[in-house]
Chain A
């Protein structure tokens, strides 16, 4: 039973890690984040556009990223007064627009919702608690029929008389390895 509990917990940890990492993939890795004032247009700039003479290279994720960032800042996407842009690649931004170490939370009064993470943590906690309780309960009902007769197998009596291993088929799968940039460009 202890082995079953440990394997359940290990599987749960793996699911948790994947869930967090998968959710992390939705939001792009954060590089340096810059605020550059009133946008000329209501949407994100597109790759190749120019700001104050500098060409910006960026990944255009469109409305998805915009609404995610806006939601983190507690503002509706269309109502964001200041637009935050995530810069990738080697784009050069004029110095007057450079605000190093600016975090998204500091740009606007941050009202990040923590309800969702709390609910997720609680749900996983409930599952862990259920596994623990079931393990404890099973320890109070130890009376059971034996599965095998291993203790009564005469030592050294096993004699293998036939042995065969036949190849049936093979299956191949592939997975793209995602490269992660450590930081955005300046």
Chain B
């Protein structure tokens, strides 16, 4: 079996978990807290053991499935080949698969959770309260099927690029002569070239995490990231990356190209309109680092369909698709149509057009 790590409270041997409120390790049983630095020694020992054992680990892998044995209760913990941290389904003991966060899979940094689970459920309530056109049954009977605090593997790209963009711009001049108004539109070919830098552009490193969901809860403040320690994962789920840095580069290039075009467009001034024709970027310097970003995921089921909500575990930004009640929307449509028609008719009468 692969090496599992769980952090035992020195006071009561309870399973320690990372506490976002205090940014320390907390024992939920006796209330003891421990600084992260105190657990570094444990990390170092476990890391050594993991590296030594991973060479001839006896873990059973059946294609994508790996099975571990919980060291607290002996129960079987089943994870796939990307699971790095999870909890025992029998006793809830949080465990970290040390081998999955070591070597090439060891993150350089982690952005610790700042918001707790109850903040996520509270945000969901506030979020749904604003959705007036959601089905009443969805809001009232909303039962959260699952709430997971997940550390998402993310590639952060720092880059210096050289960009070139071409635009078509117009200038208009209008004047009146006699009873005729003249308009002259002049067309220009505008070219801009320049250098710019980007820092910490995140790209989803896990195929299990929908890319649009992760990007929807951006931005994350990397300034609050800390060097990685396994202990931060205790009490949360985590996956190792299965999207390589090279595979993620295509997405970051796409976003950088768009930003480069926007930045160069802003330098085109004193024109009445500016349309983009082409943009190219060239990477001068590119560095990627592997980090873990905190996300709360909540699942709910309605009418046989699963709705996933995500909350940025650092900033609290909350997103999720919500179903729309067709009847309420139809009522809105009819109301606006009739109201607008009535206003237009009244205005037409007022100005003598009708």
Contact = CB atoms under 8 A, between A and B. Distances in A.
B133 A125 contact: no
Contact of A143 (B180, B193, B212): B212
Interface residues of B, number: 71
A145 interface: yes
Nearest to A154: B197
Contacts of A121: 340-342, 344-345, 348
- Interface residue SS majority, chain B: mixed
Contacts of B162: 161
Contact of A154 (B196, B320, B332): B196
Nearest to A117: B354
A149 B259 contact: yes
A8 to B, nearest CB: 13
A96 interface: no
A38 interface: no
A126 B199 CA distance: 47
Interface in B188-230: 188-201, 210-213, 215-216, 218-219
Nearest to B202: A152
B295 to A, nearest CB: 13
B45 interface: no
Contacts of B195: 157-159, 161
Nearest to B320: A143
A23 interface: yes
B263 interface: yes
A130 interface: yes
A162 B190 CA distance: 11
Contacts of B164: 162
A128 interface: yes
B267 interface: yes
Given A149-B252, A150-B259, A165-B190, A157 B196 contact: yes
Contact of A169 (B187, B191, B252): B187
Interface in A6-40: 16, 20, 23-24
Interface string B325-342: 000010011111111111
A173 B183 contact: yes
A136 B332 contact: yes
A160 B183 contact: no
Interface in B213-263: 213, 215-216, 218-219, 252, 255-256, 258-259, 262-263
Contact of A136 (B133, B263, B337, B345): B133
Interface of B: 131, 133-134, 162, 164, 169, 176, 179-201, 210-213, 215-216, 218-219, 252, 255-256, 258-259, 262-264, 267, 319-324, 329, 332-342, 344-345, 348, 351, 353-354
15 contacts: A20-B351, A114-B354, A118-B341, A136-B133, A149-B255, A152-B200, A158-B195, A161-B195, A162-B164, A164-B191, A166-B189, A173-B185, A174-B182, A177-B176, A177-B179
Given A148-B259, A151-B219, 14 more contacts: A23-B353, A117-B348, A140-B324, A142-B320, A143-B216, A144-B216, A146-B255, A147-B255, A153-B196, A160-B264, A163-B191, A166-B188, A173-B183, A174-B180
